[in-house]
Amino acid sequence: MNVYTTDSIRNVVLLGHGGCGKTSLVEAMAYVSGLTGRLGKVSDGTTISDYDKEEIKRKFSINTSVVPLIWKDTKINLLDTPGYFDFVGEAEEAVAAADAAIIVVSGKAGVENRTLDFTFPVKLSKIRTFVCASRPLKGAKKLLHRT
Ligand SMILES: Nc1nc2c(ncn2[C@@H]2O[C@H](COP(=O)(O)OP(=O)(O)OP(=O)(O)O)[C@@H](O)[C@H]2O)c(=O)[nH]1
Ligand SMILES: [Mg+2]
C-alpha cells in the first residue's frame, strides 16, 4: 500500500444547492479515477457517497462523505457535502478541513440561493475555488461576479 505524505494529499470539498449534482459528480470522479468499477446512481441508491440507509431512502445526502481517490500520484479526499440547509453544519465543517472547493451549479436550475451562500465561507477560508456545471450552465456570470 502506498503511503502519502501531506504534500501529496488534497482535501477537496464539493458544495452547492441541494440536488445540484455533487454526489453524482463524486461518483463520476471515483469511476474515472478507477476507484470504482461501476457508475452508481443517486436514484437507484447505488452511489458510494450516499451509503447511509436514510440517504438511500430519501435520495439526497445527509452527512459529509469522504471519498479518497488517487490521481497522478496525489491522494484526493473528496468531501461530498449535503446541500440542504438542515445539514449546513456538515458542509461548514468540511469547508474548514478543505484545501480547495468545487461549487457545483445545476445548469438546469442555474444559480440558486445555497450556491451563493457557499461563496462566503469559501472566500473567507482563502482556498482555491472552482465552479463546475453539472448540466449545460445558465447563470454562471452571476456566480462568478459574486465570488
Ligand atoms: N441529467 C443529469 N442529471 C443529473 C446530473 N447530475 C445530477 N443529476 C441528477 O440530479 C439528481 C440530484 O443529484 P445529486 O447528485 O444527488 O445532487 P446533490 O448535489 O448531491 O444533492 P444533495 O445531496 O441533496 O445536496 C439525481 O437524480 C441525479 O441523477 C447531470 O449532470 N445530468
Ligand atoms: Mg448529495
77-127 confidence digits (pLDDT tens): 999 999 998 998 999 899 989 999 999 998 888 888 878 777 767 766 788
Look at residue 103 and give its three-state secondary structure.
strand
For 147, other C-beta atoms within 10 Å of its C-beta total: 13
Confidence of residue 143 (pLDDT cuts 50, 70, 90): low
What does the pLDDT read at residue 138?
Answer: 56
- State the average pLDDT for the chain: 89
What is the value of pTM for the model shown? 0.91
Confidence of residue 136 (pLDDT cuts 50, 70, 90): low
What one-character-per-residue DSSP string does 30-96 give? HHHHTS-SS---TTTT--SS--SHHHHHHTS--S-EEEEEEETTEEEEEEE---SGGGHHHHHHHHH
- Report CA(18)–ligand 1 centroid distance (Å): 8
- Segment 49-70 shows an average pLDDT of 97
How much of the chain, in percent, has pLDDT values that exceed 70? 88
- In Å, how far are 28, 36, 95, 110 from 40, measured between CA atoms? 8, 9, 25, 24
Q: Whose CA is nearest to atom 12 of ligand 1?
A: 19
- Report CA(111)–ligand 2 centroid distance (Å): 17
Q: Is 40 in the pocket of ligand 1 (CB under 6 A)?
A: no
